[in-house]
Amino acid sequence: MLPNLNPLLHNQLRLSIVSLLIGLEKADFNFLLKETGASKGNLSVQINKLREAEYLTVSKSFVNNYPKTECALSPKGIKAFEEYVAGIKKYIDPNP
């Protein structure tokens, strides 16, 4: 375990979600489900945690009578991700 790293992002699934979203405008729940390989329940719990921290925004709509949940990173989430990456880089190479 690496100390002093944002604990919210220092979780395999939450980090996966944020990493998938970082290069995208937005993605829907099923895409995140497929790409992370997580279970529905776990994924929705972790998305909620990120949403509560205001790292991502979640919008719900209906397409052909099926619910569609879309997630997008917020500026706060992007900043947290960048700081996290800078943090782990320091562990790999403490004297760049």
Determine if 79 is a binding residue for another protein (CB under 8 A). Answer: no
Distances (CA, A) of 58 to 24, 27, 37, 44, 72: 14, 10, 20, 11, 7
| Among 73, 83, 19, CA closest to 51 | 73
> What is the amino acid identity at position 18?
V
Among 40, 45, 52, 88, binds another protein (CB under 8 A): 88
Determine if 85 is a binding residue for another protein (CB under 8 A). Answer: yes
- The DSSP result for 51-95, as a single string, is HHTTSEEEEEEEETTEEEEEEEE-HHHHHHHHHHHHHHHHHH-S-
Determine if 89 is a binding residue for another protein (CB under 8 A). Answer: yes
Among 6, 20, 49, 51, binds another protein (CB under 8 A): 20
Site string for another protein, 26-55 (x = CB under 8 A): xxx-xx---xx-------------------
Residues that bind another protein (CB under 8 A): 1-2, 10-12, 15-16, 19-28, 30-31, 35-36, 63, 68, 85, 88-89, 91-92
